[in-house]
């Protein structure tokens, strides 16, 4: 059994108190939400915070507000997110992404905020301390070299959150709160293409809320590739959303890939889709474009060339589903559940 390192545990009751504690404890403090990623990481000595500021008691992070759009508190567990009627009915891509994170137990503990701030992953990093010590560590922590690409000047660890691509494709913003004030930013801009410094969140900021715009006319979907249908981190996530006119003409479109880069990868597809009906030829072109942009590295499960090749297939499944094709048989084959 691997033991947790020693740490101080603080459990504030309000967002204001939590922000003040985070400021006062400084860079040695980290936020703890469900702990499903952070606590295993601490056991493996990836992160060694002297203090954990828990968000579990913060009722402010549990709110759901359904008005002109939909606001979801970052402290909602993923199970709670999937039970919000508006998520299931209007933001299908988010529902499908949250439903495919880990296992029911982990979704009952893991939060939306924790999922969005999830550490990047890599075969050479997600190992215990002794394993990493045997290879003299790597650039992400304690070492100097990137074993995935030894000439690389930056860490190429993979963004592995399922909900971030889905939420970006839905045009989500996030509210970040600190002792100094608060700001709202597009979720897309929270991420950096850097396996170490993967968030633009400032050290004292707490992700308090996710804000979704009105879904009028939009439909969305999320397709996930992983080895086991029961649970596994994504080795490809495809989040697609389209706004379609009554006659089927695409008015707006978004496509975001997960797990092929250190950040959720936004692919500009408007030029191919807007003003047209998504016929097979256009969908194939969108798939080919996405495949050409995806740069999976040899640092997660399965062969990287195969992972790149299937991008076009998965993008095709997503857009065919969005134009109304019955994709349930393919969905059952890939996700092993109806979503
Ligand atoms: C076996 C296993 C399988 C998994 N499979 C998947 C998977 O398929 N897909 C997937 O996406 N994830 C997966 N996970 C990872 C994890 O369970 C989820 O991402 C979960 O949603 C993380 O949320 P949490 O509340 O537990 O985060 P925590 O572990 O508490 O925190 C994660 C990180 O986010 C920071 N943080 C948490 N909340 C906030 C906040 N409000 N503001 C700012 N920073 C914050 C923490 O400081 C920490 O750095 C898996 C984990 C395990 C153990
Ligand atoms: S991508 Fe390179 S630097 Fe980053 S965790 Fe993997 S081996 Fe380490």
Kindly report, residue by residue over 147-176, the tens digit of the pLDDT: 999 999 999 999 999 999 999 999 999 999
From the CA of 135, how far away is ligand 2's center (Å)? Answer: 12
Whether residue 230 is predicted with pLDDT greater than 90 in this model: the reply is no
Nearest ligand (C-alpha, residue 297)? 2
In short, whether 52's Cβ falls inside 6 Å of ligand 1 is: no
Instruction: Kindly indicate the confidence band of residue 333, based on its pLDDT and cuts at 50, 70 and 90.
Output: confident
Whether residue 113 is predicted with pLDDT greater than 90 in this model: the reply is yes
CB 262 within 8 A of CB 291: no
How big is the chain by its Cα radius of gyration, in Å?
Answer: 20
In short, whether 15's Cβ falls inside 6 Å of ligand 1 is: no
Angle of CA points 263, 268, 301, to nearest 5°: 40
Instruction: Taking residues 176-200, report their average pLDDT.
Output: 98
pLDDT of residue 226: 94
The pLDDT mean for the chain works out to 97
Residues, the chain? 339
Round to whole Å and give the CA distance between 82 and 166.
Answer: 13
Instruction: Taking residues 238-243, report their average pLDDT.
Output: 98
pLDDT of residue 317: 98
Q: What digits encode the pLDDT tens for the residues 82-104?
A: 999 999 999 999 999 999 999 99
Minimum CA distance residue for ligand 1 atom 32: 114
135's tokens: 């290879």
Whether residue 124 is predicted with pLDDT greater than 90 in this model: the reply is yes
Q: What digits encode the pLDDT tens for the residues 248-288?
A: 999 999 999 999 999 999 999 999 999 999 999 999 999 99
Q: Indicate the pTM of the whole model.
A: 0.98
* pLDDT above 90: percentage of residues in the chain: 96
Round to whole Å and give the CA distance between 54 and 258.
Answer: 28
Q: What digits encode the pLDDT tens for the residues 290-303?
A: 999 999 999 999 99
- Which atom, in ligand 1's list, is nearest to the CA of 232? 8
């Amino acid at each position: 059994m691997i033991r947790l390192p020693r740490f101080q545990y603080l459990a504030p009751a309000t967002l204001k108190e939590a922000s003040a504690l985070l400021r006062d404890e400084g860079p040695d403090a980290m936020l703890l939400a469900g702990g499903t990623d952070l606590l295993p990481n601490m056991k493996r000595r990836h992160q060694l915070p002297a203090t954990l500021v828990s968000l579990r008691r913060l009722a402010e992070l549990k709110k759901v507000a359904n008005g002109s759009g939909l606001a979801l508190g970052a402290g909602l567990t993923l199970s709670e997110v999937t039970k919000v009627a508006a998520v299931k009915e209007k933001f299908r891509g988010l529902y499908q992404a949250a439903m495919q994170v880990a296992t029911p137990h982990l979704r009952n503990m893991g939060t939306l905020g924790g999922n969005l701030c999830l550490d990047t992953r890599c075969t050479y990093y997600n190992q215990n301390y002794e394993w990493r010590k045997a290879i003299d560590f790597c650039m992400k922590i304690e070492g100097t070299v990137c074993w995935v690409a030894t000439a690389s000047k930056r860490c190429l660890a993979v963004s592995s959150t399922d909900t971030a691509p889905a939420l970006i494709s839905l045009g989500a913003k996030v509210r970040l709160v600190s002792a100094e004030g608060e700001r709202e930013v597009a979720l897309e801009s929270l991420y950096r293409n850097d396996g170490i410094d993967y968030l633009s969140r400032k050290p004292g900021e707490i992700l308090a809320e996710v804000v979704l715009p009105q879904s009028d006319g939009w439909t969305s979907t999320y397709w996930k590739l992983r080895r086991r249908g029961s649970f596994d981190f994504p080795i490809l996530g495809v989040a697609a959303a389209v706004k379609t006119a009554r006659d089927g003409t695409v008015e707006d479109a978004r496509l975001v890939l997960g797990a092929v880069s250190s950040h959720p990868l936004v692919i500009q597809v408007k030029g191919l889709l807007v003003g047209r009906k998504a016929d097979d030829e256009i969908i194939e072109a969108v798939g080919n474009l996405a495949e050409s942009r995806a740069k999976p590295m040899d640092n997660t499960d399965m062969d990287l060339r195969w992972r790149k090749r299937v991008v076009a297939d998965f993008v095709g499944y997503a857009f065919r589903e969005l134009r109304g094709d019955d994709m349930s048989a393919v969905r059952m084959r890939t996700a092993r559940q109806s979503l």
